[in-house]
Amino acid sequence: MKKVIFLVDMQSFFASVEKAKHMRNLNRPLVVSGDPERRSGVILAACPLAKQAGIKNGERLWEAEQKCPGLVTVPPHMQEYIDNSMAITEILESVTDLVEPYSIDEQFMDVTHSQSLFGSPEDIAKHIQHEINSKLQVRARVGIGENKVLAKMACDNFAKKKKDGIFHLKKDEIETVLWPRPIEDLFRAGGRMSNHLRRRAIRTIGDLARTDVNKIKKEWGIHGQVLWMNAHGVDYSPVSLSSTNGQKGIGNGMTLPRDYHKESEIKVVLLELCEEVCRRTRHARVMGQTVTLGISGASYEIRTGFHRQLTMPEPTNITMEVYRYACQLLDTFWDREPIRRLHVSLTGLVSDEAVQLNLFEPARDYTIQLGYETDKIISKYGKTSLIRAASLLPASQVKERAAKIGGHYK
């Protein structure tokens, strides 16, 4: 029996959730945007009516308002979007137990063995659309294929443009249906890679598919081979109950509410980021050996900043150890120009069960355990229940961030 895989995508998800709440705005163009008075004033989601006016995700709010003077703007409510996403998962799991979240508004499903209960793939897709729309007032589009790659391309390139929002991309039809499309429509191609391919006269998906795979692999390595396989509709990855296969790194970053000029202010936020990264690392029961610091300058016209890393003598998830090395990177590479964004990450992850003992620092194991104990308090009473003294300074962002999910208010 051939596999039947769905990619279920929610149309304008954030905007649809907001429209379901504000029914009076159903026939008005609506966007979800961050605070226009701060750097977060960009479009996170636009409803179909707003998109018809030329508004795109990622553009500045003031630009969108110029295109559409009667635009309705609402702030993001991330907790509500997460709750809706989980409700959608429950609906999908009523059809099959093989559901894999791909993003907050996209999920893969394996409905191969659900057909005896729910009918043909098209019947199942219509059933899912009806259930999601009737319960959450959100429209779903469904891409259908024999594997995840075909389902994803069916959804992105065809289902989203059809009135019924359903398209079945069959493997034996990809030469006539998929290959004539521009190379940018290939799953995982990306803008930069598409430019590289176009410079090699590979302008369509079919051009890539007809190119010798050894030539592609020699030029772009494994990534090139994966793209070539995607062009042929080949994908061996199953729909997994787990959406991740292990982390290569753990990081956290933020855009500052204003330009930070002083080193003392920057280091307050830097300490808070290191605290959050180490807390996430401890939650994953791992330690990291390489700390990376990224900084972006305040000017939009002249790009400044750096992205540097430093390998520590041994793996750690102790906040002050990571902070000490992050400060070294800041002191070495910061050009003393105002900054608007910081990012800290830990890579080279290893299990926290194997800790290197140090005869010269006998208290280190107690420091490690202290981190886990403070995490228990924070987990029980909230992120602001236990903070460092530095977070009482005006430059601190810890209370502001505690009220947010993914950088946006809950």
Tens of pLDDT, residue by residue over 49-87, are 999 999 998 888 888 888 998 899 888 888 899 999 999
Residue 298 within any structural domain of the chain: yes
| Together in a domain, 92 and 200 | no
Q: Point out the catalytic residue in the list 80, 90, 93, 106.
A: 106
Determine the pLDDT at residue 242.
60
pLDDT in tens, 377-392: 988 888 888 889 888 8
Helices 148-157 and 213-231: crossing angle in degrees, nearest 10, is 70
Within 13 Å of residue 121, how many CA atoms lie on the same side as its CB? 22
Residue 170 within any structural domain of the chain: yes
Determine the pLDDT at residue 187.
94
pLDDT in tens, 121-139: 999 999 999 999 999 999 9
Determine the pLDDT at residue 397.
86
Across all residues in the chain, what is the average pLDDT? 89
Q: Pull the structure tokens for residue 79.
A: 């907790």
| Together in a domain, 399 and 299 | yes
Question: Any idea which of 84-93, 95-104, 358-367 has the lowest mean pLDDT?
Answer: 358-367
Residue 236 within any structural domain of the chain: no
pLDDT in tens, 174-187: 999 999 999 999 99
CA 397 to chain centre: 22
- Rounded mean pLDDT, 85-99: 96
| Together in a domain, 329 and 390 | yes
Residue 288 within any structural domain of the chain: yes
| Together in a domain, 296 and 385 | yes
Beta strand pairing call for 408-409 and 350-351: unpaired
Handedness of CA 10, 13, 17, 23 (dihedral sign): negative
Residue 245 has pLDDT above 50, yes or no: no
| Together in a domain, 72 and 213 | no
Reported pTM: 0.72
Residue 244's pLDDT band (cuts 50, 70, 90): very low
Give the CA angle between residues 57, 167, 91 to the nearest 5°: 75
CATH of the domain at 375: 3.30.1490.100
- Asked which of 157, 174, 191 is the last residue of a domain, the reply is 174
Residue 281's pLDDT band (cuts 50, 70, 90): very high
Give catalytic status of residue 106 as yes or no: yes
| Together in a domain, 159 and 53 | no
Dist CA 311 CA 258 (whole Å):
31
CATH of the domain at 124: 3.30.70.270
- Range ranked top by mean pLDDT from 64-68, 111-115, 303-307: 111-115
To 10 degrees, the CA torsion angle through 89, 94, 98, 100?
A: -10
| Together in a domain, 257 and 403 | yes
Dist CA 248 CA 73 (whole Å):
37
| Together in a domain, 68 and 85 | no
The set of long-range contacts for 303-307, using a CB threshold of 8 Å and a minimum separation of 24, is 304/335, 304/337, 305/339, 305/341, 306/333, 306/334, 306/335
Residue 24 within any structural domain of the chain: yes
Dist CA 39 CA 18 (whole Å):
22
Residue 89's pLDDT band (cuts 50, 70, 90): very high
pLDDT in tens, 164-174: 999 999 999 99
Element (H, E) at 22: none
Determine the pLDDT at residue 79.
85
Dist CA 200 CA 212 (whole Å):
13
| Together in a domain, 86 and 60 | no
CATH of the domain at 210: 1.10.150.20
Residue 102 within any structural domain of the chain: yes
Dist CA 268 CA 244 (whole Å):
32
Residue 404's pLDDT band (cuts 50, 70, 90): low
Q: Which domain holds residue 143?
A: 5-11+79-174
- Rounded mean pLDDT, 261-278: 94
Residue 253 within any structural domain of the chain: yes
| Together in a domain, 19 and 63 | yes
- Whether 81 and 40 have beta carbons less than 8 Å apart is answered as no
To 10 degrees, the CA torsion angle through 52, 57, 63, 69?
A: 40
| Together in a domain, 95 and 165 | yes
Determine the pLDDT at residue 172.
92
Residue 201 within any structural domain of the chain: yes
Q: Provide, rounded to the nearest whole percent, the portion of the chain with pLDDT above 90.
A: 64
| Together in a domain, 315 and 352 | yes
Question: Binding site membership: which residues?
Answer: 9, 105
- Asked which of 23, 58, 78 is the last residue of a domain, the reply is 78
Residue 299's pLDDT band (cuts 50, 70, 90): confident
Question: Binding site membership for Mg(2+): which residues?
Answer: 9, 105
Amino acid at 215: K
For the chain, what is the domain count?
A: 4
- Asked which of 57, 78, 99 is the last residue of a domain, the reply is 78
